[in-house]
Amino acid sequence: MAHTIKHSIPAAVKAWIKKEVQLQKQLHKKISKEINEDMAPRRVKWYAEFLERIQRPGRGFNVHFTERRVIPDAEMPVQPRRKDRVVW
């Protein structure tokens, strides 16, 4: 059974916490927009470059240490219909 120590939080501390929560929510919204909306076109390009690279003869994908394997078309992932969403 958990016991808690009764305590009071000063009004100044409560006000600071409330303000800090608002600031953090604004910051999260800004960063989320930058990552999920503003960077989306670049991320599409990065995906295409990666998929091309793992199929390129002589390049491929690292399986173990220096062992590489070229990924055949049949094993390539299909792009999902949904939007990408970066969670951080």
- Can you give the pLDDT at residue 3? 83
Structural domain of 41: 14-75
* 12-40 exposure pattern, b = at least 16 Cβ within 10 A, e = fewer: eeeeeeeeeeeeeeeeeeeeeeebbeeee
Res 1: pLDDT: 65
Report the pLDDT value the prediction gives residue 53, as an integer from 0 to 100. Answer: 94
Q: Is residue 66 part of a domain?
A: yes
How many domains, in total, are found in the chain? Answer: 1
Q: Give yes or no for residue 55 having a pLDDT over 80.
A: yes
State the pTM of this model.
0.68
Is the pLDDT reported for residue 2 higher than 90? Answer: no
Q: Is residue 81 part of a domain?
A: no
- Mean pLDDT in residue range 60-67: 91
pLDDT (tens digit per residue) in 66-84 = 899 999 999 999 988 998 8
**Enclosing H/E stretch for 48:** helix 40-55
SS3 35: helix
The Cα–Cα gap between 60 and 51 comes to 9
Average pLDDT, the chain: 93
Task: Tell me if 84 is assigned to some domain.
Answer: no
> Which residues lie closer than 8 Å to 37 by C-beta, 6 or more apart?
none
